[in-house]
């Protein structure tokens, strides 16, 4: 907000208590005293979508910390990711928040930190989960960034839909011939999350990992493990399809999507506010507008993450035009908007 300062000579006389030569008050032609307005800087909003060069994409996860409140832990996580990215441009952040901290603070803190360094703001998704596998830990943040110089995925990437075990995630990765870069396991309980973490450490020793208890009930042994992997080869093979799918058990989604496209776009999660299948359609319409707002021409949807709030009906309906993308559905504790029951984020082709 602006602040106003009126300088009146007789106020200064009373304040200082000594004689001053009289000075006439100069008024503008309309006989009104002029107001001096000082405007505070306007903080930019984070974009809802960001595109990156597939061959240069990096995937990192912040280490957990049990020290301090949510704000401190978020800033520590961002510093750790900055070190891991080593100068790469951050395109997308996904934060899983546990505890009683306000999930809406994530975006404001990220905006403050990036603006202070004059970095372009990334797309941001924030989800409230039940717990993280470290006492007093309140946040874990994933980053997708673009290396400025180096080609790190010359033959492309694979996005693997959530599988019911680490072993099955490994099987799909092997079918794609890919080396895992990041593994995400969403579990009913911390015990199940810890088992998945140990299994992933053996099977995917070089991959970054996120392991969360999705709701506060903490009951059950189910897990859903998704992943991102690097396809083998020094370049995209001649004649190889730009998008290739590995079929899964579900008819409306692929177990994995192999991506050899030059560019892809990542979005923040868009929320819906109805407990019906139309909520998915609403979220997809918002995603389309978000992509257009940053002047990206997107093609087909490659991968979808859907977050349903615990206790509300989960919709599994596919949006019109989807061609069996990869997909992960997760029931979570909450979303940044208290009355939202569903959030959707996508990875899409850039035309």
Strand, coil or helix: what is 67? coil
Give me the pLDDT at residue 34, please: 46
- The C-alpha atoms of residue 289 and residue 298 are separated, in whole angstroms, by 11
Can you tell me the mean pLDDT for 93-109? 91
The residues with which 52 forms a beta bridge, in sequence order, are 264
Gap between the Cα atoms of 327 and 305, Å rounded: 6
Mean pLDDT, range 275-291, rounded to an integer: 79
**Mean pLDDT along residues 265-281:** 80
pLDDT value at 337 more than 70:
yes
| pLDDT at 286 exceeding the cut of 60 | yes
With a cut of 60, say whether residue 224 has pLDDT above it: yes
Q: Which is nearest to 112 in space by CA: 71, 148, 83?
A: 71
The pLDDT value given to residue 11: 33
CA gap 92, 16 in Å, rounded = 57
Question: What's the pLDDT tens digit per position in 21-74?
Answer: 444 545 445 444 444 444 545 557 889 999 999 999 999 999 999 999 999 999
- Which comes out higher in pLDDT, residue 249 or 347? 347
pLDDT of residue 277: 59
Domains, the chain, with CATH or none: 3-38 (no CATH), 49-350 (3.30.1330.40)
Rounded distance, CA 231 to CA 156, Å? 5
Mean pLDDT value of segment 191-215? 97
- Of 37, 148, 138, 43, nearest in space to 86 by CA: 148
pLDDT at 118: 94
CB atoms within 10 A of CB 31: 6
Question: How far is it, in rounded angstroms, from Cα 90 to Cα 255?
Answer: 27
**More confident site: 174 or 339:** 174
pLDDT on residue 71: 95
pLDDT > 90: percent of the chain: 70
- The mean pLDDT value of the chain amounts to 86
The predicted pLDDT at position 285 comes to 87
- Which token pair is 196? 């998945």
């Amino acid at each position: 907000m602006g602040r106003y300062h009126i300088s009146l000579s007789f106020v200064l006389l009373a304040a200082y208590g000594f004689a001053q030569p009289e000075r006439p008050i100069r008024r503008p032609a309309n006989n009104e005293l002029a107001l001096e307005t000082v405007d505070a800087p306007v903080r930019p909003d984070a974009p809802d979508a960001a595109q990156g060069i597939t061959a240069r994409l990096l995937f990192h996860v912040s280490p957990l910390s049990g020290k301090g409140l949510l704000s401190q832990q978020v800033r520590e996580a961002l510093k750790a990711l900055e070190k891991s990215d080593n100068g790469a441009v951050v395109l997308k952040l996904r934060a899983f928040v546990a505890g009683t901290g306000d999930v809406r603070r994530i975006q404001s803190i990220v905006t403050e930190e990036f603006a202070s360094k004059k970095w372009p703001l990334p797309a941001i998704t924030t989800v409230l989960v039940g717990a993280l596998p470290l006492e007093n830990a309140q946040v874990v943040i994933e980053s997708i960034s673009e290396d400025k110089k180096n080609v790190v995925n010359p033959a492309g990437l694979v996005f693997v839909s959530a599988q019911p075990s680490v072993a099955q995630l490994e099987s799909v990765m092997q079918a794609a011939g890919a080396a895992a870069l990041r593994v995400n396991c969403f579990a009913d309980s911390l015990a199940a999350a810890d088992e998945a973490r140990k299994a992933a450490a053996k099977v995917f020793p070089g991959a970054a990992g996120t392991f969360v208890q999705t709701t506060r009930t903490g009951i059950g042994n189910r897990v859903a493990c998704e992943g991102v992997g690097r396809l083998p080869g020094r370049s995209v093979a001649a004649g190889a399809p730009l998008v290739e799918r590995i079929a899964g058990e579900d008819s409306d989604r692929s177990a994995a999507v192999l991506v050899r496209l030059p560019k892809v776009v990542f979005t923040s999660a868009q929320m819906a506010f109805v407990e019906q299948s139309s909520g998915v359609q609403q979220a997809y319409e918002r995603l389309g507008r978000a992509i257009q707002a940053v002047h990206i021409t997107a093609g087909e949807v490659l991968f979808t993450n859907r977050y349903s709030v615990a206790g509300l009906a989960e919709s599994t309906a596919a949006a019109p035009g989807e061609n069996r993308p990869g997909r992960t559905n997760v029931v979570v504790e909450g979303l940044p908007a208290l009355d939202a029951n569903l959030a959707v984020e996508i990875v899409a082709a850039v035309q």
